[in-house]
Amino acid sequence: MRDAPRRHPLLPNLDEALVAKMLEKAGAESIDELFSDIPQDVRLGRKLRLPEGASEYEVRREVQARLAQNRTPPGTLCFLGGGVWPHYVPAAVESITSRQEFYTAYTPYQAEISQGMLQSLFEYQSLMCDLLGMEACNSSLYDWASAAGEAVRMAGRVTGRKRVLLAGSSGLQRRSVIRTYTEPMGLKLETVAFDRTRGTLDLDDLEQKLGEDVACLYVENPNYFGVIEDGIAELVAKARSAGALSIVGVDPISLSLVKEPGAYGADIVVGEGQPLGIAMNYGGPHLGIFAVRDIKLARSMPGRLIGLTTSASDPTRKAFAMVLQAREQHIRREAATSNVCTNQSLMALAAASYLSLLGKEGFRSLGETVISNSHYAAKRLSQIRGVTSPHFRGAYFKEFVVSYKKAKAEAVFRRLARKGVLAGYPVAKSFGLGSEAGTFCVTEVHSRDDIERLGAALEEAL
């Protein structure tokens, strides 16, 4: 075979003649000469030990075959939750986020040529403010956990206080992330107990722990157990009377039927935007929700904010621009509210289009289907011997805990997976439930047959 000239679809100037022409203008004899400023002793001097490149077809065939080894829907049923939930992503959402005009752009630094993304992000902010009952929402952080970490940092900065109260009913991984984020600030994290019967936070314990040195209370609603914190208005009021900020973590889908955090006095709302039209993606990219009660707090928040304005030459023409940039790292450097730079714009676009598609009635009917399906499933599982379903007496939305009289939660989880049902993620021992238990998440994607399959699989797995 002939020794073909080197060509690559990603490298338009690879051809020798083009290289020669460019080198001439650049004033260099060879490409190596362009790198001659790298001292000899730090040059690699050999090829990288990596496989050689392959054609698109070969790579696609191999990688897709490997991905097909993963057991996922549609072949496998997924009833896992915990901060990433199986929900349907409408085709129109995928169509919008697949527009190259959106996904191959970057942060709208030049506002005039980036109005499309700016308006979409502004609409995201506005839709989310309505959903959350807040006055300002940034155009996204990385995910729920990191948003919670940023929120607790912000509360420490705003109040100048050092103690932080974390709901014992909140997710452990999110609490770990809060710890990583806040450790350098010297904040002292304490856990507020929860009621072992109802699964809701213990108001008395909160009262005991509150004091004038508490920066904030972090509480989730619904909480990690899926239980709706029906006393949350009192919790928030108690925190406020002690001068602490309330940070509420939410699953936005629950807000179809459950009151918005703004209605019960939350100062900062964080949460996971993934169920708003974003695939589970094995953990990311997702969407960190971050919103605050008023403009004053907005001045201390991290992340990009988009404001409504007009064109300078034509005041009748609406336009959008990034605002409050003086909070951000590219201007304020070490005095910035956060180091966050790139965020999750494309995910915010997904959420904006998702909320627009479902709309007022669709979103409500989604909530109704989810809460009905989860209650139907909890009831179905309660018919199995040796199972308490739901484990807690508190009201719940789409997730619930199931406890087992005899079986080990870890073993049940793995046996279910072998039967093609991903469900029953074990509740960590550190929650102190006193019994073996797993969590189950049921949404609109689960049919009655799916729930029956789950019930049958759990019966066999015990």
| Of residues 133-192, those binding another protein (CB under 8 A) | 135-137, 139-140, 142-146, 149, 153, 171, 173-174, 176-177, 179-181, 183-186
| Of residues 12-41, those binding another protein (CB under 8 A) | 12-14, 18-19, 21-23, 25-28, 31, 33-39, 41
Contact region for another protein (CB under 8 A) — 106-114, 159-167, 236-244, 401-409? Answer: 106-114
Q: Is-contact 220 248, C-beta < 8 A?
A: yes
Q: Which is nearer to another protein, 83 or 168 (CB)?
A: 83
Q: What is the dihedral of CA 271, 275, 277, 278, to 10 degrees?
A: 80
| Residues 297, 279: Cα–Cα separation, whole Å | 31
How far, in Å, are 8, 114, 235, 294, 410 from residue 349 at the CA level? 33, 14, 33, 23, 38
Q: Is 332 in the site for another protein (CB under 8 A)?
A: yes
- Applying CB under 8 A, among 197, 208, 339, 435 the residue interacting with another protein is 339
Contact region for another protein (CB under 8 A) — 188-196, 207-215, 250-258, 384-392? Answer: 250-258
Residue 360 per-residue DSSP state: H
What is the closest distance, in whole angstroms, from the C-beta atom of residue 60 to another protein in the complex?
A: 5
Give 351's contacts (C-beta < 8 A, 6+ positions apart): 124, 127, 128, 273, 276, 277, 278, 287
| Of residues 39-68, those binding another protein (CB under 8 A) | 39, 41-44, 47-54, 56, 59-60, 62-64, 66-68
Q: Is 265 in the site for another protein (CB under 8 A)?
A: no
Q: Is 96 in the site for another protein (CB under 8 A)?
A: yes
Q: Which is nearer to another protein, 73 or 211 (CB)?
A: 73
| Of residues 201-220, those binding another protein (CB under 8 A) | none
Q: Is 406 in the site for another protein (CB under 8 A)?
A: no
SS3 75: coil
Contact region for another protein (CB under 8 A) — 3-11, 211-219, 238-246, 427-435? Answer: 3-11
| Residues 386, 399: Cα–Cα separation, whole Å | 20
Q: Is 414 in the site for another protein (CB under 8 A)?
A: yes
SS3 270: strand
Contact region for another protein (CB under 8 A) — 130-138, 210-218, 239-247, 454-462? Answer: 130-138
| Of residues 343-402, those binding another protein (CB under 8 A) | 343-347, 349, 352-353, 355-369, 371-373, 375-376, 395, 397
Angle at 304 between CA 232 and CA 259, to 5 degrees: 20
SS3 8: coil
- Applying CB under 8 A, among 308, 384, 411, 462 the residue interacting with another protein is 308
The structure tokens listed for 410 are 């870890």
Q: Is 7 in the site for another protein (CB under 8 A)?
A: no
| Residues 273, 328: Cα–Cα separation, whole Å | 23
Picking from 169, 184, 201, the residue whose alpha carbon sits closest to that of residue 431 is: 169
